[in-house]
A and B are shown apart, each in its own frame.
Chain A
Amino acid sequence: MSNIDAVKTRSSLAGLGTFGKYLVLGIAAFLTIGPVVWTLITALNPQDPVTHVTTTGFEAFVDVFEKIPVWLYVWNTALVTVLVAAGQMISAAMAGYVFARFDFRGKNALFAVILATMMVPMQVTIVPVFMLIRGMGLADTLLALIIPALPTAFGTFLMRQYFMGLPVELGEAAEIDGAGPWKTFFSIYLPLSAPGLAIVGILAFNYHWNEFFRPLIMTISEQNFTLPLGLVSLQGKLGSGSVSTVLAGVIISMIPALLVFVFGQKPLREGLTAGAGK
């Protein structure tokens, strides 16, 4: 797990041959990347297959901005995503640290309950969550998407594992030097936990930037839509309208995810498989 690149296992399918291997992988890579490349080409394509209207260059992109308030949706989505990611990093770091480093009565039971909440899908609890949000007067606000997503059972678990992997002697040395428990956390352990926090943050970002189900239920007014909802409304509004416009919208919405993919690939990969330890 620590260094996948360094491990070269001998192919169990040696008989397939090198050519066949690259052919299969090449086709698979073509099938995963191809549709997105097609999307970009079609978004820039002058001839629209449905309306047969000829557009040039970035006109489809301009059209997206005319049909839906793109900047508003980008702002809404970014606000939700960034606040949720930051909130999860903070809450998970704190709770994970306590579960890794301190003993208190009922600790194991509490941790078991936290893990158990991961078993029940979010879609199952959405009705009571919706009621709570409504009761708090937050229906149809962005806070309805942010507040329930701030605590994270998975992130807490991940950070607990991370802190347990850090040497306990560091904290003991700091305390001998006169540092209190708060200082030990903030100046010793928190900085060391940055790679773990990056995983929690990037996973939260990727999930909430793309999420569809909760925004569909929690937001009603178009001014509170997030990007995925806006895109689908773009398709619905236009009916048999411009394919290029919808696809240009899709391309616009992909940009942050692509940036994460390019610059945060390692924590993303590690995070995605982190819950899958034996």
Chain B
Amino acid sequence: MMSTTTSPRKKNRALVWVFLAPTVIGLGLFSVVPIIGSVVLAFFRWDIITAPQFIGFDNFVQMGANPTIRVSFFNTLTFVVAAVIVQLAVALGLAILVQSRMPDWLRTFFRSALFFPLILSAASVSLIMAYLFNYEFGLINQFLTLIGVGKVGWLTTGFGAKVVVLIVYVWQNFGFTFLMFIGGIAGIPKEVYEASSIDGVVGWSQFRHITIPLISPTMLVASVMAIINALQIFDQPWVLTRGGPGDDTRTAVMVIYESAFRQLDFGGASAVGIVLTLVIMVVTGIQFQLSKRYVFYG
């Protein structure tokens, strides 16, 4: 540490403070203050028009009593579990295939094609998918009719809408996990595979006993990031279904948005945000505890 830093000298002091100012003032004002503000607001009733009123834990109690909010949290959690499992499995499988023996131009093509959805906006993707999954004229129902399955109420039934939100979300975001796994697999020394092959460890058992343990650090980071991102899902269900049918695709962040900016319940919205943040912290904490037991750091 000492060798990479310059000792504090008077002539550097001006530079240090001038260079830090934009980031420190900016993050202080637009991150630290709002975080504290959210925590404080969660204990008040405030509709922006009348004066804020301290109500203790009432906002949190009401969250539990409000069926829409309960359902939204339940939806968010089931979505996270399903989406993260699918996303990790798809990303890992495709990353292993892309990193296997093949010509470089093909590898480049597949890698680019597979992370391509990541650069699109969630709004655009959801608009496209809304048409593909449309009941009347959507390409998917046309195909299902053709093969004799018939039309499926993708966006008009609760379960169908959940499945579509999951598909659209994973379609757009698996590329991120995919790129991380490519990095992890590329970091495994070739000699490890050669040595294990000589010892007769090939195929599935090579995957199970060599690849998985050696990329477990990547897997931990990838799953933490995937969970944190999935907990914040909003754009896709908002554009696809506006949370419907009923409350079937309503999510925690959608409740924050609607409570605050539709119902002007800023305290209630903050309380939902605080609970969401606590969930994120607990999940992250649990995963790092697990990592001490299961993750192999070579």
User: What is the interface of chain A, defined by CB distance below 8 A to chain B?
Assistant: 1, 4-5, 7-15, 21-22, 24-25, 28-29, 31-33, 35-36, 38-39, 42, 49-50, 87, 90-92, 94-95, 97-98, 100-104, 110, 113-114, 117, 119-121, 123-132, 147-148, 150-153, 156, 164, 168, 171, 180-182, 185, 206, 209-213, 216-217, 227-229, 231-232, 235, 243, 246-247, 250, 253-254, 257-258, 260-261, 265, 268-269, 272-273, 275-278
Contacts and interface: CB of A to CB of B under 8 A. Distances in A.
A59 to B, nearest CB: 18
A206 B119 contact: yes
B131 A247 contact: yes
Interface in B182-210: 182-183, 185-188, 190, 193-194, 197, 202-204, 206-207, 210
Contact of A129 (B30, B100, B137, B256): B30
Nearest to B13: A104
Given A127-B269, A153-B27, A181 B127 contact: no
A11 B94 contact: no
The size class of the interface chain B forms with chain A is 35 or more
Instruction: Name the residue in A21, A246, A273 with the highest tally of chain B Cβ atoms < 10 Å from its Cβ.
Output: A273
B101 interface: yes
Contacts, number: 326
14 contacts: A1-B183, A8-B99, A24-B93, A24-B97, A29-B109, A29-B110, A39-B128, A97-B19, A101-B5, A104-B16, A117-B35, A131-B37, A273-B179, A276-B218
B120 A4 contact: no
Given A1-B187, A119-B281, A32 B121 contact: no
A272 B121 contact: no
Contact of B22 (A14, A150, A164): A150
B224 to A, nearest CB: 9
Interface string B244-267: 000000000100110011000010
Interface string B209-229: 011000001100110010010
A164 B183 CA distance: 22
B121 A10 contact: no
